[in-house]
């Protein structure tokens, strides 16, 4: 089984990316991926746009073609009451399994006051927080997450892209230091991922594509680096099931 913990749907107004339901499902089929956790591409900064894309993801979770779960992505600078209303709707009513902060897209330092509110919501809802790391320095430097990790040891944190190619050592450092930190190393090269495997082990690493064209690349990377079947299964789906409490 293969579960992609970080894929997107919709239209991104920051990075000019776009992907529809058919494009995502077809990519999963081509690459033998059984399903994934789908989050919005970054919508415009209006709550109705956030609600609309979350609703689209919810409808996609009903598909019989693949196993799909939703992840909320809400701009942390919305008023707290508005943020909470949509976050609680996504988790409690739509059955989403996590919440995302994208520092470069949300203009949010992951240990700032508004970001801390997101961490508090994740604590209350008992869901993992995913933090984009890598592109978008200084806010997206993995070290920017450290203050929040110290304040919220009971909130599971997945570092998306694990610092990417330039800052994966910082992400690996955090995963070694904090029990609640896990690495999603999409876009990290084979040397960086190999070092992660050696330093934190395969129970702390999750497969992700982030982009449909990147699916086969990421799969090839892990299949080359991990020869033990149990370790490979952990990375490809077992860690996702455990961390996000997925029903498969």
User: Residue 133: phi, psi to the nearest 5?
Assistant: -135, 155
pLDDT given at position 9:
98
Q: Is 0.75 topped by the overall pTM?
A: yes
Question: Do the strands 18-19 and 3-11 form a parallel or antiparallel pair, or are they unpaired?
Answer: antiparallel
Q: Give the tokens for residue 113.
A: 């006051």
Query: Distance (Å, rounded) from C-alpha 126 to C-alpha 111?
Result: 19
pLDDT of residue 35: 97
**Do 166 and 141 form a contact (C-beta atoms < 8 A)?**
no
The reported pLDDT for the residue numbered 106 is 97
Half-sphere exposure of 77 (CA within 13 A, CB side): 10
In the chain the beta strands, taken as DSSP E runs, fall at 3-11, 18-19, 35-40, 67-70, 72-73, 99-101, 129-132, 157-160, 181-184
Q: Say what the pLDDT of residue 150 is.
A: 98
Strand 72-73 versus strand 67-70 pairing type: unpaired
Question: What pLDDT is recorded for position 25?
Answer: 98
Per-residue pLDDT of the chain (248 residues; tens, 9 = 90+): 999 999 999 999 999 999 999 999 999 999 999 999 999 999 999 999 999 999 999 999 999 999 999 999 999 999 999 999 999 999 999 999 999 999 999 999 999 999 999 999 999 999 999 999 999 999 999 999 999 999 999 999 999 999 999 999 999 999 999 999 999 999 999 999 999 999 999 999 999 999 999 999 999 999 999 999 999 999 999 999 999 999 98
Q: What is the pLDDT of residue 99?
A: 99
Q: Give which of 215, 216, 222 is closest to 192, Cα–Cα.
A: 222
CATH architecture of 3-244: Alpha-Beta Barrel (3.20)
């Amino acid at each position: 089984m293969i579960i992609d913990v970080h894929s997107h749907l919709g239209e991104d107004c920051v990075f000019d990316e776009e992907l529809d339901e058919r494009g995502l499902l077809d990519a999963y089929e081509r690459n033998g991926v059984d399903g994934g956790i789908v989050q919005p591409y970054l919508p415009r900064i209006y709550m109705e746009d956030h609600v609309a894309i979350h609703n689209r993801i919810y409808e996609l979770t009903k598909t019989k073609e693949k196993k799909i779960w939703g992840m909320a992505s809400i701009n942390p600078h919305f008023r707290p009451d508005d943020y909470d209303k949509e976050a609680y709707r996504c988790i409690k009513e739509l059955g989403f399994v996590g919440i995302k902060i994208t520092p470069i897209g949300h203009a949010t330092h992951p240990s700032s006051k508004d970001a801390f509110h997101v961490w508090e919501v994740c604590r209350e809802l008992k869901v993992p927080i995913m933090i984009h790391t890598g592109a978008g320095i200084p806010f997206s430097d993995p070290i920017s997450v450290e203050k929040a990790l110290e304040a919220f040891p009971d909130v599971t944190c997945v570092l998306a892209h694990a610092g990417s190619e330039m800052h994966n050592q910082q992400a690996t450092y955090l995963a070694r230091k904090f029990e609640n930190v896990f690495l999603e190393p999409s876009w990290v090269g084979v040397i960086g991922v190999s070092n992660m495997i050696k330093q934190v082990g395969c129970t702390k690493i999750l497969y992700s594509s982030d982009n449909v064209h990147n699916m086969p690349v990421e799969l090839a990377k892990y299949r080359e680096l991990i020869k033990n079947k149990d370790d490979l299964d952990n990375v490809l789906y077992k860690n996702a099931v455990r961390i996000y409490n997925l029903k498969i």
